[in-house]
Structure 1
Amino acid sequence: MMVTGNSRGLVQVLNISTGIYLKGGSSKITGQVYSLVFESSGRLLWVGDGVGYIVSYLFDLPTGRLTKAKRILVAENSPITCLSARTWVSREARDPSLLVNCAAGVLLLFSITRSDGNLLLKRKFPLKHRSHHLKIRSSFCPIISFRQGACVVTGSEDMCVYFFDVERERKPCLNKLQGHSAPVLDVCFNYDESLLASSDAEGMVIVWKREKRQF
């Protein structure tokens, strides 16, 4: 099964073997679907829309049924361009977390507080992200975090890649990678986080190599 979202704000569960959308596996949200992510068990889904809301769903694996659970406003009329979920962030920060990139100039880290996907804001990081048509993405750094503290990495409209320490209260920015000539839209690690790929709005991809356990 696969979950999809469209510009009409419709979330649907598709049986990829038959090509049929499942009965009870669809739901309407407020705005256009911009992002979605499952937690590790596949029983909980979050959907981010184009008007600043995150909706959580309970997902029944045998039937594909979606049940709407929680709905929170992150930033009014600001698209939720990326969602990333982790059951742990680091050895010191084991609580399940949701990383949210929002086109309101902010990167947010939420703690997942209940089995229905309820969220509690933990940290907020300033970010150059205001253009609603740019779907800027962010990610956890679980291996780096396990060795050196809890880290996340994100693209930015100012053409840089940022690393933030989620446990550091003051000056959380650990590193800023420069080299793009357009807004950085996506970042992605390889399997052991020794390489990071970043891509920008003009189609350039840069592969960064980590040296001495740092970028």
Structure 2
Amino acid sequence: MLHISYPESHLPKHHLQVVNISTGKKVKGGSSKLTGRVLSLSFDAPGRILWAGDDRGSIFSFLFDMATGKLTKAKRLVVNEGSSISSISARSWISREARDPSLLVNACVNKLLLYRVVDNEGTLQLKRSFPIQHGSQPLHSIFCPLMSFRQGACVVTGSEDACVYFFDVERNTKAIVNKLQGHSGPVLDVSFNCDESLLASSDATGMVIIWRREQK
């Protein structure tokens, strides 16, 4: 079994490393240097493309050989020079209508970014952006695959204004479909249970709130 890791922030060089967790050994050809400290990682559904976001505002795509563990650097996208890419989440489709592979990104630009994956090398093209407060905190966001299959194409994100936002990424106007209030600090992370009936959100003060979705 292979594992992707990245070094602690105090190390002088920033790189990805593939490790065989059965043997504890590093995989030959399974490492690559980046320009900054790696903060976020996500594979595509087949496990052939790996995206890595760093603290200098860049997203790198790597081709991953599942048989050997070899990494090959493919593309680099500078989202915003000097910003941190705090979250990357990949999804092969987000609704019945939106079948394009997509990448959801938090990048400290006061927006949640949705990219379309346009080729087999992980090249990204900006599809939509959604206003949130995000300037410095390590915010995270997620897709809602089950909810999207039933009613639109939904994503959820934390925000520095102490709110949790639900966006329908296919709506041209009024994309905010829900806004949860109850935290007293920046909402850093969000996570669903397996059937998306419960949502957990955590903030910078250490509080975790569990939200129950009402059945209509």
Place the TM-score, normalised by the shorter chain, in its bin: over 0.9
Deviation digits for residues 103-157 of structure 1 (CA, Å, limit 9, x no counterpart): 11111001111011011110011110101xx210000011111111001000011
In structure 2, distance between residues paired with 1:102 and 1:37: 15
- TM-score after normalising by structure 2: 0.96
- TM-score after normalising by structure 1: 0.96
1:85 Cα shift?
0.5
In structure 2, distance between residues paired with 1:2 and 1:186: 23
Q: Which amino acid counterpart does residue 174 of structure 2 have in structure 1?
A: K
Residue correspondences, number? 211
Unaligned 5+ runs, structure 2: none
In structure 2, distance between residues paired with 1:118 and 1:18: 33
Q: 2:152 aligns with which of 140, 145, 149?
A: 149
Q: Which amino acid counterpart does residue 211 of structure 1 have in structure 2?
A: E
1:180 maps to 2:183: yes
In structure 2, distance between residues paired with 1:186 and 1:5: 20
Q: 2:214 aligns with which of 207, 211, 215?
A: 211
Q: 1:68 aligns with which of 51, 68, 73?
A: 73
* Match in the other structure for 2:48: 43
Q: Which amino acid counterpart does residue 197 of structure 1 have in structure 2?
A: A
* Match in the other structure for 2:32: 27
1:108 maps to 2:113: yes
* Match in the other structure for 2:3: 2
In structure 2, distance between residues paired with 1:120 and 1:79: 19
Decide whether the 8 Å contact of 1:9 with 1:49 is kept in 2: no
Q: Which amino acid counterpart does residue 31 of structure 1 have in structure 2?
A: G
Q: Which amino acid counterpart does residue 111 of structure 1 have in structure 2?
A: R
Q: Which amino acid counterpart does residue 3 of structure 1 have in structure 2?
A: I
* Match in the other structure for 2:174: 171
* Match in the other structure for 1:86: 91
Q: Which amino acid counterpart does residue 189 of structure 2 have in structure 1?
A: D
Decide whether the 8 Å contact of 1:11 with 1:26 is kept in 2: yes
Which consecutive aligned stretches of 4+ in structure 1 deviate over 3 angstroms post-superposition?
A: none
In structure 2, distance between residues paired with 1:99 and 1:36: 11
Decide whether the 8 Å contact of 1:161 with 1:177 is kept in 2: yes
Unaligned 5+ runs, structure 1: none
Secondary structure in 2 aligned to 1:145?
helix
* RMSD over aligned Cα atoms: 0.9
1:212 Cα shift?
2.3
